[in-house]
Amino acid sequence: MIAIINYEAGNLTSVKRALDYLNIPNIITKDPTTILNSQAIIFPGVGAAGSAMSNLIENNLDKVLHQAKDNSIPILGICLGSQIVLEVSEENNTKTLGLIPGKCKRFSPDLKDQDGNYINIPHMGWNSVSLKQECILFDNIESKAEFYFVHSYYPAPEKNFILGTTKYGLEFCSVLGKDRLWAVQFHPEKSGRPGLKLLENFYNYARRIKNA
């Protein structure tokens, strides 16, 4: 069972729909016991870091996520969930979870693309990921696969936590993590088959370690 953390931050149901389609048991929940007894946790998010953090704290979910990490439960952060695992966000100067060292930055409007045009913000659309370290989430996913991004801020973790990068005006970290905690800036639940494969890889990993 995957626990999808419910903290009133955007469209949780799209993650649920993708897991349902893959026949992966899942539940949208904010109950600490359910979360800490799950095989794996997905931490999604759309919206602003500030309000997301206050919702997490209000529901005590910040502590639950730290506890889950300490208990080595596999965690996958998605989109805002990939930013909020860091220590601080430039978005409303918010102190965030601090599960991974680093901060979340805003795309500068002065950045230009390879044609010399100013980039649009948010970064919205399909883009590729270049892996910098081995990552089981990408098992059996073609290197040319693209993923769907929608964001104005991007994760900037310490270097050894950078698993993959994407180019948009600059090269930013789009996949980060360590041990059993991963986070992706794109939306796997909206990235067609490669995205579904990534979710499947995450669940299969969680099942393997549970059975090991």
Partner 1 sequence: MLSKRVIPCLDVRDGKLTKGIKFKGNVDIGDPVETARIYYEQGADEIVFYDITASHEGRGIMLKVVEKVASQIFIPFSVGGGISSVKDMRNVLLAGAEKISINSAAVKNPSLISEGAEAFGSQCIVVGMDVLKVPVSKKIPSGYEVVIHGGRKPMGIDALWWAKEVERLGAGEICLNSIDADGTKNGYELNITSLIAENVRIPVIASGGAGHPQHMVDAVTKGKASAALIASIVHYGEWTIPNIKKYMQDKGVKVRIVW
Nearer to partner 1, 126 or 159 (CB): 126
Nearer to partner 1, 58 or 171 (CB): 171
Shortest Cβ 167–partner 1 spacing (Å): 5
Which residue is catalytic, options 91, 104, 151, 189? Answer: 189
Nearer to partner 1, 58 or 113 (CB): 113
Shortest Cβ 78–partner 1 spacing (Å): 13
Q: Which residues of 69-106 are buried (b: 16+ CB within 10 A; e: fewer)?
A: beeebbbbbbbbbbbbbbbebebeebebbebbebbbbe
Which residue is catalytic, options 91, 135, 187, 200? Answer: 187
For residue 54, the one-letter residue type is S
Beta pairing class for 94-95 and 88-89: antiparallel
Please give the C-alpha separations between residue 193 and each of 18, 21, 30, 42, 190, in angstroms, as whole numbers.
10, 12, 29, 18, 9
Closest CA to 107 of 124, 95, 129: 124
Kind plus residue range of the DSSP H or E element containing 18: helix 12-21
Q: Is 189 a catalytic residue?
A: yes
Nearer to partner 1, 129 or 183 (CB): 129
Shortest Cβ 111–partner 1 spacing (Å): 11
Q: Is 187 a catalytic residue?
A: yes
Which residue is catalytic, options 79, 104, 135, 173? Answer: 79
Shortest Cβ 81–partner 1 spacing (Å): 15
Nearer to partner 1, 71 or 118 (CB): 118
C-alpha gyration radius of the chain: 16
Q: Which residues form the interface with partner 1 (CB under 8 A)?
A: 10-11, 13-14, 17-18, 20-21, 46-47, 109, 113-114, 117-118, 120-128, 142, 144-146, 148, 150, 167-168, 189-196
Shortest Cβ 188–partner 1 spacing (Å): 9
Closest CA to 65 of 90, 98, 95: 98
Q: What are φ and ψ of residue 192, in 5° steps?
A: 60, -155
Residues assigned a catalytic role: 79, 187, 189
